[in-house]
């Protein structure tokens, strides 16, 4: 975007922003002013309208009180005819729909046919009993006509005689509501404590007992209106904002509310805003035209200057600069550009000559021209560069000689290192082969040790089994020995029985011989019994001898079995010792194997390092030879520069 467009656009934006801000401020000011005026004016207006309604209600109350103060009405001894005449006269002179007297229960006491038979079902009747004072009833519809009743109690010596109730036409309230006219769309409502509409221009709303909140769609309106105070509030419904002014109607259960749309009072403000917008548009158009002409002139001047600057940016220092003959900044800019081009041309010419000499290797030059401003820094910096280059090149020339000498020494050392690395690598290869052979032998020993350990484990298990079997054998021989001892006891017992039997048989033979012939048969039996006892004794003795011999053999076998068990135990201990030794040997072989593996790894690393050293020594030898050549070349190149002598400026 060129400067002409920028000036036009920026000016247009500034003017538009200022215009919009002014219109917004004006709109806000007008709304604020209107709101403040309405806040101040509406309460006094609504209070005046409320007092007007109160005055009309007081007038109606005075009429009822005037009728109630009549002596005929207040005296008990007055006849019904006299009272009826008073009521008829009052009804004919005042705009009553009907006028009647009602007893304490709300039943009609005296009145014409237009009077209702009772008023006990009205909202007014309970209030008459509670207040014992004037009560104005809500507006009702009867035969298509709107009307409201006013009643007072008639007392005599603080005794209630009856209630005087008169019914008025709605026209009185309608006249008052018609006179409340704050704006075209303003609307006034008289409502009771329940929010039912008692007065409005639209009598249909009154007849239908419509609720003010349902009719106006203003939530919370009844709470504000029935608060008993005079005030004004801003409320919204259906996207529209309205002023709501409200006041109580003293002496009644009613409240007056006036709803005025806010837009009704914003007409003059809107017209002022539209007029301001039109004026702003005209001024904006004039500003654009003036800005366009002024920016065109500036654009032409700047175009010449920027064209010459473009040539300067491309390196053109020869083309003359066109000077603009004006007394503003564009003329000063063109003159300054011309002076700048001439100065830069002089500076560049001298610097070019110096740099050209330096490019040819001549560092004995020096910038001596007159430089102004920041170009003085360029002059001093270039002279410092020339001096630094002289010092640096001298150092390089001197260093190249030292590098050449050092390169020769490094080359010889690199050759020696390379030879030593070669011999070290060969020795490590031989050591690695020997280590591999030892590692193989250790692996064989480790395998044989593992095999011996497995065989010793098997032998240990077999010895353990034999030891267990020998223990079982000893236990069995102990059981046999115990059984033999029991058999010996039984044999002894049988010998005792045989001995006793032999004695009994002998005694029987003696007794049989005494008995003579009568005991001959018993003597034969006794003899046979004695023979059997003798045979039993012999058998028991023979059995005892055999058992004794068996016991002796068992004792010998037990002794030998114990010796065998002890031998097995000794063999088991030896086997355990051998197993422990084998395990230690296996662990030692494992440690040696791990150590040899670690040694092999270390030797492999050393061999790798030796190989790296060998490679590095080869590369170092090669690099040193190259360094030697580069040093010779550097010495040759540094000798080509023309440098200042020491002390020369």
Cβ of 525: how many Cβ atoms within 10 Å?
13
> Which pLDDT value is given to residue 6?
67
pLDDT tens across 287-346, in order? 778 777 766 766 666 666 677 677 666 666 667 666 666 666 666 666 666 666 666 766
The three-class DSSP label of residue 292 is helix
pLDDT at residue 5 above 80? no
Least confident interval from 33-42, 63-72, 221-230: 33-42
- Inter-CA distances, 354 with 312, 337, 358, 365, 392, Å: 22, 26, 6, 7, 18
Q: What is the rounded (10 degree) CA torsion for 555, 560, 565, 567?
A: 160
Confirm whether 449 is domain-assigned: yes
Q: What is the rounded (10 degree) CA torsion for 308, 309, 312, 313?
A: -140
> Which pLDDT value is given to residue 165?
93
Confidence of residue 522 (pLDDT cuts 50, 70, 90): low
Confidence of residue 563 (pLDDT cuts 50, 70, 90): confident
Confidence of residue 152 (pLDDT cuts 50, 70, 90): very high
Cβ of 137: how many Cβ atoms within 10 Å?
23
Whole-structure pTM value: 0.42
The kind and range of the H/E element at 261 are strand 255-261
Question: What is the CATH classification number for the domain harbouring 552?
Answer: 1.10.287.950
Confirm whether 523 is domain-assigned: yes
**CA pair distance 572, 18, nearest whole angstrom:** 116
Tell me which of 400 and 215 has the higher pLDDT.
215
Using left for φ > 0, alpha for ψ between -120 and 50, and beta otherwise, residue 321 falls in: beta
Confirm whether 181 is domain-assigned: no
Confirm whether 45 is domain-assigned: no
Tell me which of 407 and 277 has the higher pLDDT.
277
The three-class DSSP label of residue 246 is strand
C-beta of residue 204 within 8 angstroms of C-beta of residue 221: no
The three-class DSSP label of residue 100 is strand
Number of structural domains the chain divides into: 1
- Most confident by average pLDDT, 150-154, 181-185, 211-215, 258-262: 150-154
Confidence of residue 248 (pLDDT cuts 50, 70, 90): very high
DSSP symbols for 159-207: EEEEEEEEEEETHHHHHHHHH--SSTT-EEEEE-TT-BEEE-S-HHHHH
pLDDT tens across 605-640, in order? 777 766 777 677 677 777 777 777 777 777 676 666
Tracing tokens 């303003």 back to the chain, one arrives at 186
Confirm whether 324 is domain-assigned: no
pLDDT tens across 568-589, in order? 677 777 777 777 777 777 777 6
- Inter-CA distances, 530 with 501, 511, 512, 514, Å: 7, 14, 14, 18
pLDDT at residue 649 above 60? no
SS3 per-residue string spanning 300-329? HHHHHHHHHHHHHHCCCCCCCCCCCCCCCH
Backbone angles phi, psi at 479, to 5 degrees: -65, -45
Confidence of residue 4 (pLDDT cuts 50, 70, 90): low
Confirm whether 541 is domain-assigned: yes
Confirm whether 330 is domain-assigned: no
DSSP code for 217: -
> Which pLDDT value is given to residue 324?
64
Domain that holds residue 412: 384-638
DSSP symbols for 497-525: HHHHHHHHHHHHHHHHHHHGGGGHHHHHH
pLDDT at residue 147 above 60? yes
Confirm whether 499 is domain-assigned: yes
pLDDT tens across 44-98, in order? 888 888 888 888 888 888 888 888 888 888 888 888 899 899 888 888 876 788 8
The three-class DSSP label of residue 111 is strand
């Amino acid at each position: 975007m060129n400067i002409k467009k920028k000036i036009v656009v920026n000016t247009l934006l500034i003017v538009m922003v200022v215009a919009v801000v002014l219109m917004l401020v004006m709109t806000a000011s007008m709304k604020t002013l209107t709101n403040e005026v309405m806040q101040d004016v509406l309460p006094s207006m609504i209070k005046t309208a409320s007092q007007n309604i109160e005055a009309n209600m007081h007038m109606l109350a005075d009429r009822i009180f005037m009728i109630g103060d009549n002596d005929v009405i207040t005296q008990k001894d007055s006849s019904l005819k006299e009272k009826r005449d008073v009521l008829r006269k009052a009804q004919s002179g005042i705009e009553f729909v009907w006028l009647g007297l009602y007893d304490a229960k709300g039943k009609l006491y005296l009145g014409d046919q237009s009077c209702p038979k009772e008023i006990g079902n009205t909202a007014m009747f309970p209030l008459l009993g509670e207040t014992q004072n004037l009560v104005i009833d809500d507006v009702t519809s009867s035969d298509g006509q709107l009307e409201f009743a006013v009643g007072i109690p008639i007392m005599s010596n603080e005794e209630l005689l009856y209630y005087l109730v008169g019914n008025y036409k709605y026209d009185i309230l309608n006249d008052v509501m018609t006179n409340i006219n704050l704006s075209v769309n303003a609307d006034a409502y008289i409502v009771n404590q329940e929010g039912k509409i008692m007065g409005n221009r639209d009598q249909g709303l009154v007849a239908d007992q419509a609720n003010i909140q349902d009719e106006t769609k203003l939530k919370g309106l009844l709470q504000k209106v029935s608060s008993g105070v005079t005030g004004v509030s801003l409320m919204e419904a259906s996207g529209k904002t309205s002023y709501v002014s409200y006041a109580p109607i003293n002496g009644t259960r009613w409240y007056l509310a006036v709803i005025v749309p806010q837009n009704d009072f914003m007409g003059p403000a809107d017209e002022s805003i539209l007029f301001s917008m039109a004026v702003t548009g005209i001024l904006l158009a004039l500003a654009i035209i003036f800005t366009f002409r002024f920016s065109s002139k500036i654009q032409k001047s700047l175009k010449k200057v920027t064209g010459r600057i473009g040539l300067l940016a491309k390196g053109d220092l020869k083309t003359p600069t066109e000077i603009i003959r004006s007394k503003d900044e564009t003329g000063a800019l063109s003159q300054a550009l011309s002076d700048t081009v001439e100065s830069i041309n002089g500076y560049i010419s001298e610097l070019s000559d110096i740099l050209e000499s330096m490019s040819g290797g001549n560092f004995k030059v020096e910038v001596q021209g007159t430089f102004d401003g920041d170009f003085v820094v360029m002059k001093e910096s270039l002279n410092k560069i020339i001096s630094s280059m002289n010092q640096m090149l001298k150092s390089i020339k001197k260093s190249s000689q030292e590098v050449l000498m050092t390169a020769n020494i490094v080359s010889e050392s690199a050759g020696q290192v390379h030879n030593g690395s070669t011999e070290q690598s060969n020795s490590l290869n031989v050591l690695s082969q020997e280590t591999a052979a030892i590692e193989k032998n250790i692996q064989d020993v480790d395998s044989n040790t593992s095999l011996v350990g497995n065989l010793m484990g098997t032998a240990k298990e077999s010895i353990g089994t034999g030891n267990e079997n020998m223990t079982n054998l000893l236990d069995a021989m102990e059981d046999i020995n115990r059984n033999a001892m029991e058999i010996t006891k039984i044999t002894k017992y049988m010998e005792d029985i045989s001995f006793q039997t032999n004695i009994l048989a002998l005694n029987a033979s003696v007794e049989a011989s005494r008995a003579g012939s009568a005991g001959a048969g018993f003597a034969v039996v006794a003899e046979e019994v004695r023979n059997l006892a003798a045979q039993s004794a012999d058998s028991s003795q023979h059995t005892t001898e055999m058992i004794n011999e068996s016991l002796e053999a068992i004792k010998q076998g037990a002794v030998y079995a114990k010796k065998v068990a002890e031998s097995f135990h000794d063999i088991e201990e030896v086997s355990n010792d051998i197993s422990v030794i084998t395990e230690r040997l296996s662990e030692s072989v494992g440690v040696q194997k791990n150590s040899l593996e670690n040694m092999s790894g270390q030797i492999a690393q050393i061999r790798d390092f030796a190989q790296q050293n060998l490679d590095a020594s080869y590369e170092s030898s090669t690099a040193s030879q190259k360094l030697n050549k580069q040093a010779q070349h550097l010495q040759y190149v540094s000798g080509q520069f023309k440098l200042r002598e020491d002390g020369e400026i």
